[in-house]
Amino acid sequence: MAASILTKQKAWVYREHGNSVAYMLKLNTEIAVLEIREDQLLVKVVAAGLNPVHIKIMNQYYVLHGWFDGTDHPPLPPLPTIPGYDVAVVVVKVGNQVRKFKVGDEVYGNINELPLNHPKQFGSVAEYTAVEEKLLALKPKNLNFVEAAGLPLAIESAYQGLEQAGFPAGKSILILGGAGGVGTSQFRYSSSKACYLEHLE
């Protein structure tokens, strides 16, 4: 079952790499709405976020610093590219294998599971995007769409960093840059583990 869906959409697109994001990123009003796979949902974007990783991909920071050298890492996303990973959205169509969500659900998440290993060509700064069911969760009712869209990548980065560090409960932890998205998420997560916290903004 699907809601009424346009065949064309507006999206922010870049067709080349360079130093000026303002020059590269352009609004395109004739982008085809994606077809979804059986394990995906088509979602109408209400709010989306861009992160530093998108700027670094657009201005080739990772290429210049050896992240995407054709041997250890895959190529950059194909051009033209719609950037963006973080979204808060409304479900408008579901694939046959989708079980957790239905049309009309308000959900949020990071639509690119492995952004540095398998960057997607079609991101979140568009009217619609396609995303795998496993990458989304129901939007908390106490958050509006803009608030929810600002959380996914920051929370994932905070959790991944702390878990990889293997910090035990009850120990002291110093969080540098504690006022940013990742830092504040680390602060909250560490508090839930009964750690002794210090943070520097």
Q: 3-class secondary structure for 2-21?
A: ECCCCCEEEEEEECCCCCCH
| Sequence-separated (6 or more) residues with CB below 8 Å from residue 188 | none
Q: In angstroms, rounded to a whole number, what is the distance separating the alpha carbons of residues 132 and 171? A: 37
Q: In angstroms, rounded to a whole number, what is the distance separating the alpha carbons of residues 9 and 3? A: 15
Single-letter residue type at 61? Y
Instruction: Enter the DSSP assignment of 33.
Output: P
Pairing between β-strand 172-176 and β-strand 196-200 as defined by DSSP bridges: parallel
Residue-by-residue DSSP string for 35-81: PP-TTEEEEEEEEEE--HHHHHHHTTHHHHTTSS-SSSSPPPPPSSB
- SS3 sequence of 89-147: EEEEEECCCCCCCCCCCEEEEECCCCCCCCCCCECCCECEEEEEHHHEEECCCCCCHHH
Give the pLDDT confidence score for residue 179 in this predicted structure. 66
- Taking the domains of the chain in order of start, what are their residue ranges? 8-150, 151-199
| pLDDT tens digit at each of 201 positions of the chain | 455 787 999 999 988 877 777 778 899 999 999 999 999 999 999 999 888 777 777 776 665 555 555 555 556 778 888 999 899 999 999 999 999 999 999 999 998 876 666 677 888 999 999 999 999 999 999 999 999 998 877 777 766 777 777 766 667 777 777 667 666 766 666 666 555 555 444
Q: In angstroms, rounded to a whole number, what is the distance separating the alpha carbons of residues 182 and 196? A: 18
Kindly report the CATH class assigned to 8-150.
Answer: alpha beta
Taking CA atoms, 162 is separated from 19, 73, 154, in Å, by: 32, 24, 12
Q: What is this structure's pTM?
A: 0.78
